[in-house]
Structure formats: C-alpha cells, structure tokens
C-alpha cells in the first residue's frame, strides 16, 4: 500500500491511496487465507524455471478471482478507502500477475482445464471490481500491465478510457506512447528514470550473480533497474517525448516511486530528496530555457538552495554539491561540453 500526492486547483496536496490487488496480496492471507492463492510459499521453487516462479520476488500471494468471498472483502476495503480518501481517483493496482501463483490453486486449475485462460481469469476479476469502483464515482487507476502485459491482460473494451487512467513503469516513452495512442490518460513512472530505489543492489540472498571474477563487468550491480537514478537523469527526462500534441494532452503527469524492499524510515529522506524536487521542477516549468537549452546550471543552484531549506526544516535531504561550491556560485560548473 502506498499513496502519491497530486496538487489540487486550490494548491493543496491530494492523497490518492493505492491498495494492491489482485497481485502482491500475500499479507491478506493473514486475515483471509481462503481468498489468497499460493500464500506463504517459497517464491521460486528449486528446479523450476523463472517462468514457473510463484512471485516476481519473495512474498507470494494473489487474490483468487474465483472465490466469491474475495469480492466481499475487496468491496469492504474499497468502501473504507473511499470514505477516508474522498478524491475522485482510486488506484487499483493490477500489476505483476504471476501465472504460477494462480496456477497453484485447485479452483484455478479446474478453470484452466475447462479451456479458461489466465487473461480470462483477470477479466473475471476486473469485471467484478471495476464497475463497483466506477459506481462510487471514481476514476480507476491501474498499472499498465492490465493492458500491456505479455501474458496476462484484459481486453481494452473492459476499461473505457473515460473511466480509466494507466500508470506506466516499463519501456520508457514506448509504453507511454502505447497508452495515449489508445486514448487512455497516462501517469508516467518509468522505472529507468523515476524509480528512486534503484541502484542499491538486490535483496535476494544466496544470489550467485555477485560471484564474479575481479575485473568483471558488474553490470547493474544486481539491481534490476540499476543504475542509481541521479537528479540529473530525472531532470533530463521528458515524459511527453515522441508524442503528438494531442497525445501529450493525455499525459497527466509523472510520479517518482520509492519501493520499500531496501528502504525504511532511516533512509527515506535522502532517497527521495532532492531528486523528487528535480522531477517537480521539470513537470511544473520544464527543463529548458527560452532558447531551448537545458537549465542544468540554474537548476543546480536552485536545488542547492532548496536542499538547504529542507535540511533547516528537519528533512534529511542529501547534498548534490560540496559546501564550497555553494559558497562560490558558478565555480563548480563547467564551460566545456562533455
């Protein structure tokens, strides 16, 4: 569960709550084990192929679309969240549905033996939840997987664009293009730019990918979305790259993401700030001056000042330059192109 803020017309921050379903729901089995498939099992059994794993990472469990009680529980959760967060959006997840987890359940096995498919199973789930969310006057936000996943996805006809927003995290501008060219509004969270947890290795233990000879290329250092996303990388990104003017109008904005596998309260501030501020500037006022040049020098000065304001207010934002550079404006810039 996480939330992301958006800025309302009155200048206040709006919180949109995200409650994962149908995937990433192993924790639901603590209260309702009967509605969760493959809960509390080893995520990648020995001797099996990657495609047969039960989860994208340790922590297994998917909600079972064939169990009527699943929807009783979900609707109670939706009602609670909609009451606490009255904004007109509801983020319903639907990413990283792993075939092996659903296939591990006997009722799903019977469904598949009767010529059903996993995509049809996801459609059962969406058909049982999406209309209810719309009935609450909510626009439903899904991760892009619900339409773009290579294996398990629903037909676009089930998700009318007027009621649906898709959040993209794969394949950079290519997936953004796919979403908006199909008439959907998009939120851009491209993992190759906007994932703030990247570049810190991998939390999987007993991992042979680190067994390298000295001098070997470490690649991404074990981080699937490495390397680390610098503020310059974030500042440089154009979320409407390659889009027509009409398509660009469907891009609502962007969101940086900090997933918590290797982040907790002890590192929260420096992982987020001031990199999130770099994204904020580009989305509010662009990253180019009136001549079309990138404003890296100006942005550096602004972020330095902003970072120190945050620190004085108790926010542990990481520095982007040595203090000497801040005390000697312009002396740490370069006048030579690299």
Is the pLDDT reported for residue 311 higher than 80? yes
Could you list the active site residues?
96
Q: Has residue 337 got a pLDDT over 70?
A: no
Report if residue 99 sits inside a domain.
yes
Q: How many structural domains is the chain composed of?
A: 1
Q: Report angle CA 140, 3, 154 to the nearest 5 degrees.
A: 30
Give residue-wise pLDDT tens across range 196-246: 999 999 899 988 888 888 988 888 888 899 999 999 999 999 999 999 999
Task: Please check whether residue 80 lies inside any domain of the structure.
Answer: yes
Q: How confident is the model at residue 84 (pLDDT cuts 50, 70, 90)?
A: very high
* 321 falls within a domain: no
> What's the chain's average pLDDT?
92
Whether the model clears a pTM of 0.85, i.e. scores above it, the answer is yes
Is residue 146 domain-resident? Answer: yes
* Residue 318 in domain: no
User: What CATH number did the domain enclosing 42 receive?
Assistant: 3.20.20.80
* Residues 57, 44 contacting (CB under 8 angstroms): no
Question: Model confidence over 2-59: pLDDT tens digits?
Answer: 444 544 445 456 678 888 899 999 999 999 999 999 999 999 999 999 889 999 999 9
State the residue range of the domain holding 148: 2-285
d(CA 18, CA 77): 11
Angle between helices 106-113 and 118-135 (to 10 degrees): 110
């Amino acid at each position: 569960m996480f939330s992301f803020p958006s800025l309302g017309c009155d200048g206040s921050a709006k919180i949109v709550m995200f409650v994962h379903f149908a995937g990433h729901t192993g924790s639901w089995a603590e209260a309702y084990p009967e509605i969760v498939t493959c809960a509390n099992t080893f995520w990648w059994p020995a001797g099996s192929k990657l495609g047969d794993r039960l989860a994208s990472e340790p922590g297994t469990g998917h909600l079972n679309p064939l169990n009527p009680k699943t929807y009783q529980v979900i609707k109670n959760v939706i009602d609670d969240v909609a009451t606490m967060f009255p904004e007109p959006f509801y983020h319903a997840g639907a990413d990283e549905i792993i075939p092996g987890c659903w296939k591990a359940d006997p009722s799903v096995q019977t469904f598949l033996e009767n010529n059903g498919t996993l995509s049809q199973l996801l459609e059962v789930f969406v058909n049982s939840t999406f209309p209810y969310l719309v009935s609450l006057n909510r626009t439903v936000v899904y991760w892009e997987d619900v339409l773009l996943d290579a294996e398990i996805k629903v037909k676009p006809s089930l998700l009318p664009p007027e009621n649906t927003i898709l959040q993209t995290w794969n394949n950079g501008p290519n997936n953004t293009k796919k979403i908006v060219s199909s008439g959907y509004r998009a939120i851009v969270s491209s993992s190759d730019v906007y994932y703030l947890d990247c570049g810190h290795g991998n939390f999987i233990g007993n991992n042979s990918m680190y067994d390298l000879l000295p001098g070997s290329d470490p690649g991404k250092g074990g981080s699937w979305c490495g390397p680390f996303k610098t503020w310059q990388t974030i500042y440089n990104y154009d979320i409407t790259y390659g889009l027509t003017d009409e398509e660009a109008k469907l891009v609502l904005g962007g969101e940086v993401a900090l997933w918590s596998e290797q982040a907790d309260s002890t590192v929260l501030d420096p992982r987020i700030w001031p990199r999130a501020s770099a994204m904020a500037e580009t989305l509010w006022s662009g990253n180019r001056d009136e001549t079309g040049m990138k404003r890296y020098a100006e942005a550096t000065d602004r972020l330095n000042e902003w970072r120190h304001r945050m620190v004085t207010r108790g926010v542990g934002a990481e520095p982007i330059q040595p203090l000497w550079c801040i005390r000697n404006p312009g002396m740490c810039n370069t006048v030579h192109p690299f």
